[in-house]
Amino acid sequence: MPAKRSRLTRSSDFQRVYRQGSSTASRFLVLHYFAQPAGAVGAEPRLGLSVSKKLGGAVVRNRVKRLLRETFRECAAELPGNYDYVLIARPQLTELLDGPDKGAVPAAVRDVFERAELLQKGERD
């Protein structure tokens, strides 16, 4: 589990990323990202998640958040460290949860980071 300081939790942090940052989207996810302020403690990437009730009940939403955090943790070493990221799950993401391909959600996360040119294509282990 990521350290508490590597998560965005305050509404003001989310608003700063939304208003001052950039964004990119795919069919399954929307990614907002913004460089951390110069006085920020540490240079590790921070992640905020937004998963709506449109995706399903609490069990589904918590599963989605777990998968997104796990994938972000795997990609974090390849991402610029001085950024805040907010991933917004779109309702179509539930199609990937029900499908036979278990690697579909991590692939969707990597795809949205590649679209933002924050993660180089083909850097998979």
Tell me which residue has tokens 């996360």. Answer: 109
pLDDT score recorded for residue 125: 47
pLDDT class of 48 with cuts at 50, 70, 90: very high
pLDDT score recorded for residue 100: 83
What does the buried/exposed string (b/e) look like for 47-62 if buried means 16 or more CB atoms within 10 Å of the residue's CB? Answer: bbbebeeebbeeebbe
pLDDT score recorded for residue 112: 96
Which DSSP string corresponds to 34-78?
A: EEPPTT-SS---EEEEEE-GGG-SHHHHHHHHHHHHHHHHHHGGG
Instruction: Please state which CATH number belongs to domain 4-115.
Output: 3.30.230.10
Q: Give dist(CA 70, CA 62) in Å, integer.
A: 12
Q: Is the pLDDT of residue 31 over 50?
A: yes
Domain ranges of the chain: 4-115
Q: What is the pLDDT of residues 74-96, one digit of tens each?
A: 998 899 888 999 999 999 999 99
